[in-house]
Amino acid sequence: MKPIYVLNGPNLNRLGKREPAIYGTTTLAEVEDLCRASSGDTPIEFHQTNSEEKLIDLVHEAIDEGAGIIINPAAFTFTSLALLDALKMFEGPVIEFHISNIHKREPIYHRSYVSMRADVVMAGLGAKGYATAVRAMLDLVGGR
């Protein structure tokens, strides 16, 4: 059984401490626990990096090993054509996930390069929404 990759971009390692009015108080470790608890028997590859290069390498790994990608690219959402190009090579489903509703925020957060590839975009559900994303991915990959 191929795993679902849950990939997190820059500054998400600071969840729970970073701007709690926007991102809440749930930590990244708690997010990982939510994802694993929601995946049933489907394995989860859970990663966070502050490096664009490493995030792209993780997408490449998912291309070879993964059933689906749930990605919260954080700031790379709005800046990285390289990430978009990597995601275009992935043949399975991609869910773009954002903790906050990026469309309610400043205009700089309204244009997502990742959305040009994503099959599903989820935003505004808070950190606990990762569990919803995992359940949606299981439906997309036929894992339940």
pTM of the model: 0.94
Specify whether domain 4-141 bears CATH 3.40.50.9100: yes
pLDDT by residue (tens digit) across 77-121? Answer: 998 999 999 999 999 999 999 998 888 777 777 789 999 999 999
Active-site residue 60, yes or no? no
Domain boundaries in the chain? 4-141
pLDDT by residue (tens digit) across 129-143? Answer: 999 999 999 999 985
As to burial, measured by CB atoms within 10 angstroms (0-12 exposed, 13-18 middle, 19+ buried), residue 132 is middle
CB 133 within 8 A of CB 96: no
Active-site choice (98, 103, 109, 113): 98
- Nearest-5° angle of CA 72, CA 54, CA 26? 35
